[in-house]
Amino acid sequence: MASDESSVEIIAGVVKWFDPAKGFGFILSDEAETDILLHANALRNFGLSSVCDRARIRVSVQSTARGLQTHEVLEVLPPEDETASTDDADGQAMPIDTSIPIEPGRVKWFDKVKGFGFANVFGRSEDVFIHMETLRRSGMADLQPGEAIALRAVAGERGRMAVSIEPWEAGIVPRKAESGAAQE
């Protein structure tokens, strides 16, 4: 049965689970009678390689012969119970200041078991520390070496540290909008 583009609808839900090694997971939604398949390709097209369990997600879905499948990821937000937690690795409050510029970067390495890793920001020589909790607060579960990301970083006691991670495209779009507005 061929999928019908006219049957695409927008649904908000919560990630039940996602396994990057398997390349898929499922979304739960009150708007759907069954689980919704979330394929790694739909997530990659959004600019992410992973998403954490219980992350809030908004997607367009299609009904196929095998059930509901994600057509496009539109938004990924951290789990509701973790949005209030803004503690860094030392337990100090780290409110996310949206006035901190978003910078494009690339993951140097990230070890999920150790709970941290590093990224390089384009045009800067120093590494940026990424803590697992920062990743979770951003709605992600893991990062892959070489993965393109956008991040907000602040100066910490031991160097720069990420306070939020976003899809790569977030590091590109605002700069164009800002430069366009400045020229007018």
Domain count, the chain: 2
C-alpha of 6 from chain center: 28
37: domain CATH number is 2.40.50.140
Other C-beta atoms lying within 10 Å of the C-beta of residue 2: 6
Please state, in angstroms and rounded to a whole number, the distance separating the CA atoms of residues 146 and 82. Answer: 27
Q: What is the pLDDT of residues 2-25, one digit of tens each?
A: 444 457 899 999 999 998 889 999
Report which of 20, 172, 43, 96 is spatially closest to residue 58, judged by C-alpha positions.
43
Amino acid at 78: P
Q: What is the pLDDT of residues 109-167, one digit of tens each?
A: 999 889 999 999 998 999 999 999 998 888 888 999 999 999 999 998 889 999 999 88
Are 89 and 162 contained in the same domain? yes
Are 63 and 105 contained in the same domain? no
Are 69 and 25 contained in the same domain? yes
Range of the domain at 10: 5-77
For the entire predicted model, the pTM comes to 0.66
C-alpha of 30 from chain center: 22
Q: Last residue of a domain, which of 77, 92, 110?
A: 77
